[in-house]
């Protein structure tokens, strides 16, 4: 038996697993390991090649995008103690923006394109991207605490 990957013990991956479980309103994934829950977010080159270049995102994909930004918002709250609210606005074609608002401050603003192909090459790349966005958001909150506290 192999030892569990330590990436599953990081704050971001733990929160992503929580967010994915929250999406499962019918209990489909009850008792499933975190690896199984995060599997749809991992798009290897082979899996990505199977997805058409142009397409409209389905509800499951949109839910995964929301879970990703919800995880970032939750970790912002955990880190700075201020409520962070994610807003995702998408066209039916999969273009739009993800915002995370803290008080009156836009702590994170990310343009979204080709959402039907949303995913990461590996779990490590997902964590790296999440940590990078979290760091940017926390830096903004730190730079403008009076706006974030409104």
* Cβ atoms 70, 134 nearer than 8 A: no
pLDDT digits (tens, 9 = 90+) for 71-128: 999 999 999 999 999 999 999 999 999 999 999 999 999 999 999 999 999 999 999 9
pLDDT digits (tens, 9 = 90+) for 3-14: 678 999 999 999
41 is a domain residue: yes
Strands (E), the chain: 84-90, 96-102, 105-112
What is the band of 143 on the pLDDT scale with cuts at 50, 70, 90? very high
Residue 1 has pLDDT above 60, yes or no: no
Whichever domain contains 132, its CATH number is 1.10.3100.20
- Number of domains the chain contains: 1
45 is a domain residue: yes
Give the pLDDT of residue 31: 84
**Domain span holding position 125:** 6-148
1 is a domain residue: no
Structure tokens, 67 = 């879970």
- What CA dihedral angle connects 121, 127, 132 and 137, to 10 degrees? 130
Top-confidence residue, 137 or 30 = 137
Give the phi and the psi of residue 92 in degrees, each rounded to 5.
Answer: -65, -15
């Amino acid at each position: 038996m192999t030892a569990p990957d330590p990436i599953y013990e990081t704050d971001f991956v733990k929160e992503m697993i929580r967010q994915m479980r929250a999406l499962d309103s019918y209990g489909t994934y009850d008792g499933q390991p975190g690896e199984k829950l995060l599997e749809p977010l991992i798009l290897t080159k082979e899996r990505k090649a199977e997805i058409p270049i142009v397409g409209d995102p389905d509800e499951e994909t949109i839910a995964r995008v929301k879970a990703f930004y919800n995880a970032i918002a939750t970790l912002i709250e955990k880190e700075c103690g201020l409520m962070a609210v994610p807003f995702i606005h998408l066209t039916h074609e999969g273009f739009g923006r993800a915002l995370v608002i803290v008080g009156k401050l836009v702590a994170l603003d990310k343009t979204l394109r080709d959402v039907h192909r949303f995913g990461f090459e590996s779990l490590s790349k997902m964590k790296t991207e999440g940590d990078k966005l979290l760091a940017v958001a926390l830096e903004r909150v730190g730079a403008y605490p009076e706006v974030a506290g409104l």
